[in-house]
């Protein structure tokens, strides 16, 4: 296990145990003082909110000032912690407090409410089944009016941003020089599928597990010039995280490589360029039913 993962697991487990034991300790003392339980709940809610605010601010700083090679992983970790805290904050602020003499199980009275049932239902949603029904019913047709040519023929289901929830990608895959694709996601609150990105690409659509990005080019690259953009999901939108570029000198035939991030371009070596390209994987396309 990487050190990054060790820290994440340690933080989450330690926090979960700390919260649980604090509530149990209060209930085991006498379990009849609702004011004490309310006090603990308010303190823990403040802790949740402070941690969430810290994570969100850290994500903004990391995106702006973080190293290109590590910021994707760092932001992913911070996002996971923030989401974890947000889930438990909602759970904490909406749980029912009951007076009981003997503690049996934390989930019996404190955590057994309608919100928890709704939360567990959302957690157990099978997105693959939802997306398959969406494809089978041809419901995607109303979302592809921006496609100038081609019709959806293949799909892939992939957790693009690494948040634990999969997205649906459909493409024309005509075999021509370029194709269109659209990316869909599922809104658990509204219980509906929505599209938040449509674009065309040349010569393949690939995925970077390291940067949680869809990687493609919007020009027909050749041996003399080419680039590929790394597109990531941010706040239900697709944005370019950075761009790799190469250009061959007509006279010397030497190739120069560069990377553009947030409008700033810098020269990179061939080895660096290859390290980005070797990370890419092809999507597992399936025929739309």
The SS3 of residue 134 is: helix
Phi, psi of 149 (to 5 degrees): -160, 165
pLDDT at 70: 67
| CA-based R_g, the chain, Å | 24
| Integer Cα distance of 144 and 181 in angstroms | 9
Model's pTM, two decimal places? 0.61
Question: Above pLDDT 70, what percent of the chain?
Answer: 73
pLDDT at 234: 85
pLDDT at 226: 92
| Integer Cα distance of 87 and 85 in angstroms | 5
**Torsional sign, CA 2, 82, 122, 13:** positive
3-state SS string over 16-85? HHHHHHHHHHHHHHCCCCHHHHHHHHHHHHHHHHHHHHHHHHHHHHHHHHCCCCCHHHHHHHHHHHHHHH
Q: Which two tokens stand for residue 119?
A: 């939360």
Question: 156 Cβ partners below 8 Å, 6+ apart?
Answer: 168, 169, 171, 283, 284, 285, 286
- Low-confidence residues in the chain, pLDDT < 70: 1-37, 68-70, 94-124, 174-177, 189
Of the candidates 64, 63, 82, which has an alpha carbon nearest to the alpha carbon of residue 72?
A: 63
pLDDT in tens, 30-84: 444 566 667 777 777 888 888 888 888 888 888 777 776 667 777 877 888 888 8
pLDDT at 25: 44
| Integer Cα distance of 99 and 94 in angstroms | 16
């Amino acid at each position: 296990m990487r050190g990054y993962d060790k820290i994440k697991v340690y933080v989450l487990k330690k926090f979960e145990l700390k919260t649980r034991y604090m509530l149990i300790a209060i209930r085991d003392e006498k379990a009849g003082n609702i004011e004490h339980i309310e006090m603990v709940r308010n303190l823990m809610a403040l802790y949740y909110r402070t941690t969430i605010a810290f994570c969100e601010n850290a994500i903004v700083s990391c995106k702006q000032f973080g190293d290109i090679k590590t910021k994707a992983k760092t932001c992913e970790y911070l996002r996971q912690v923030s989401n974890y805290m947000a889930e438990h904050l909602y759970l904490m602020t909406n749980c029912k407090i009951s007076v009981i003499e003997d503690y049996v199980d934390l989930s019996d009275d404190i955590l057994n409410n309608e919100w928890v049932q709704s939360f567990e239902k959302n957690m157990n949603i099978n997105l693959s089944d939802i997306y398959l029904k969406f494809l089978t019913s041809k419901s995607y047709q109303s979302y592809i009016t921006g496609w100038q040519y081609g019709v959806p023929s293949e799909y892939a289901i992939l957790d693009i941003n690494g948040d634990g929830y999969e997205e649906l990608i459909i493409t024309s895959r005509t075999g021509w020089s370029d194709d269109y694709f659209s990316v869909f996601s599922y809104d658990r609150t509204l219980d509906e599928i929505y599209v938040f990105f449509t674009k065309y690409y040349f010569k393949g659509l690939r995925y970077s597990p390291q940067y949680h990005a869809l990687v493609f080019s919007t020009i027909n690259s050749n041996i003399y010039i080419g680039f590929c953009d790394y597109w990531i999901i941010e706040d239900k939108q697709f944005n370019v995280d950075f761009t790799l570029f190469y250009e061959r000198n007509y006279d010397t035939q030497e190739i120069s490589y560069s990377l553009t991030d947030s409008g700033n371009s810098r020269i990179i070596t061939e080895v660096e360029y290859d390290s980005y390209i070797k990370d890419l994987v092809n999507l597992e396309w399936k025929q739309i039913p």
